[in-house]
Structure 1
Amino acid sequence: MRPFTYTRAKDPLAAIKLLGGNPNARFLAGGTNLLDLMKEDVERPTALIDISELGLTDIKTITAGTNKGGISMGGLGRNTDAANHPLIRQNYPLLTQAILAGASGQIRNMATNGGNLLQRTRCQYFYEVAMPCNKREPGTGCGALEGINRMHAIFGWSDKCVAVYPSDMAVALAALDAVVKVRNAAGQEHSIPFADFHRLPGDKPEQDTNLMHGELITAIELPQNRFADKSYYLKVRDRASYAFALVSVAAALETQGNTIRQARIAMGGVAHKPWRALKAEQMLIGKEATTENFKQAADAEMADAKPLEHNKFKVELGNRSIVLALQMAMNGGKA
C-alpha cells in the first residue's frame, strides 16, 4: 500500500472542500471496497477523508417534495440498518432481500448505503495490475474483451470495457426508481435519478458514475409505490455462499386482479450498471400475470443481448431468471 494522508472530517461541507481540493483524494466511509483496492494497488489515493462520523444515517419518511410519502435513507447509514429497518422491510422488501443477498453480516455492518453504490467492478483484469484495463488505466486496452469473460457483460458494453457492476442493493434501487441526493462544493444539494447515476462504459469506462469529484452522497430516496406485496430479488451465483451474481433480477409488480398495472424489472451481473429491462416492463403492462406472458417479456428483453465468447450461457440464464423472478414476485416471494 502506498503512502497517503488521513483526515477525519468534522462536517459534510468541510469534507467536500477537502476532497475537492485534491483530485487524488478519496472519501473513506466503511472502506469495504476502497481499502481492498488500495491493498491491490488498483486505487492509489494520496489522501483519505474519513466521513464516517458526519451523521447522514437517518432512515425516515419523506414529508415534503416530489417523493413525499416515500423513504429517505442516509448516505452514511449502514447496509445492516437499511435491510433491517421496519420502514424498509414493510414498504420495500425487495431492497431488504437484495441487501441480504449481497454480502455477509460482517460486511453489511461496515458498508454504507452511499459506498455500496460506488463499488467498483470485480473484473479480474481490473484487479490484476499487470494486465491491460481501460477502467484502471485508460488507453491500455481491455484484457477481458478477448480473454476469459465468463462473468462479463451481455448488455451495454463497448470495445473499451466489458466489465459488470457488482452491487445487489443497486439493482433493487434501480427497480424501485430511487433518487440519489448529492451535495456539491458550494453546499448545494441536487438529485440524480437512479437511472442516470451509473454510466455505461462508452469511450470512458474509467468513469463509473455521473457523480463529480468532490460531491457527497447525502441520502437515497425511495418514492412511494404499491410493489411491497409482489416483489422478489433473485440472485444466481456460482456458490450458495456470498458471491457476485452471474445474473440477478429485481422484479416488482402492481396488479389489479390478475392484470398487471405496473412492472419493474432490473438485472445485475449483465452490464456496466444496473440494467433496467424496459422492453420486458412495457410488454407486461395491461397483460395477465401468466407464465406465458412472463416468457414473452423475457424473450423480448434478452433478444438484445450481445454475449461474449465465454458468457453465452447468460442469455438463457437471464431469460429463465426474469421468468422465475416474476413468478416469485407474483406469489409474494413464495415458490
Structure 2
Amino acid sequence: MSPIRSMEGERNHTSVAMFVLLGLSDEKELQLILFPIFLGIYLLTLVWNVGLIILIRMDSHLHTPMYFFLGFLSFIDICYSSSTSPRMISDFLRDKKMISFIACATQYFVGSWMAQAECCLLAAMAYDRYVAIGRPLQYSAVMGPGLCQKMVAGAYVSAFIGSLVQTVPCFHLYYCGPNTIHHFYCDISHIISLSCSNPFISQMILFLVAFFIGFGSFLVILLSYGFIVAAILKISSVKCSAKALNTCASHLAVVTIFYGTGLSVYLHPSSSHSKKQDKVLAVFYVIFIPMLNPLIYSLRNKEIREALKRVVKRLTHLPQYE
C-alpha cells in the first residue's frame, strides 16, 4: 500500500495503490506445473481464433453474415483471453503477485467489455439464424452487409459503455484497508468487498448493466430460438428440419456453455461453493471458453472444413518462381 493523502470525514486515511492477487494456488510446485499448461492453452486460443479469422477472410465461400459474426466472435475471444491469461501465466513464476490499482481497473474494464460484447454478438448471431431458417427467401435482403456491420458496431459500443459505467464507480470507491484479492484476476465482486465506502450504488450499477446487457441478450436469443422452433415445426420434410437444426447446433452449443458457466460463476450463493471451486469455474469461463468456441464451430461445421481444404490446396499449389 502507498500512503496517499485523502480526506474523508475530516480524517486522513491511507489509500490502496496496489492489490495482491492470490492466484490459482499458493503451492510453488503446482504453479510450476500449471505454467506450461496454461501457456499452451493461451497459445492454442490465439492460434485457433486467429486462424479462423484468416480462414474466413481468405475463403469467399465464407463471406456470409454468419461467418462475418463468427470472425468478430473470434476477435472478442482473443481480447477476452488476453485481458487475463498473460497476467495469470506470468504470476505462476512470481513470488509476489502485485497489480497496480490502474492495471486492475484496466484488466476488469477490458474483460467486462469483451464479455458483454460477446453477449450482444451471440444475440445477433441468434437473430441471423432465425432469419436464415424462418425467412430464407428474404435472407439476403434482410441480413445485408449494412445491417451486419451495424449489429457488430452496436455490440461493441453498447458493451464499451456498459463496461465503462461499471468500472468507473466501482474503482472510485474508497479503498483503505485490506488489498488482497482471493482470485487470479481482478474480479469486481472481490474488489468491491475490499472497499471502505458504502458499495450499494456501485453494486446496483453492476446489477443493472448485467441485467440489461446480459439478460437482454439472453432474452433475444430465447425469442430467436422460439421462432426458429416454430419455423422448423412448419417444415414437412424431416431431412430439411434436421438440416435447419444442424445450422444452429454450433451456436446453440456456444450459447449454452457461455451462459451456463457464466450463471454458475456469478449467480450461485456464496456459501454453496468454496473459493477453490469458484476459481475452477472462473478458469473455465475466462480461459477455456475462448479456446473452445473456434473448436466448436470448426469441428461441427462442414463449410469451415471444406474452406480449410480449399485454402490449403490453394497455398500448396502456388506457382514456384526461381
TM-score by length of 1: 0.27
Q: As a proportion of its length, which structure holds more strand?
A: 1
Structure with more contact order per residue of length (Cα contacts < 8 Å, sep ≥ 6): 2
State which structure, 1 or 2, has the greater radius of gyration over its C-alpha atoms: 2
Q: As a proportion of its length, which structure holds more helix?
A: 2
TM-score by length of 2: 0.28
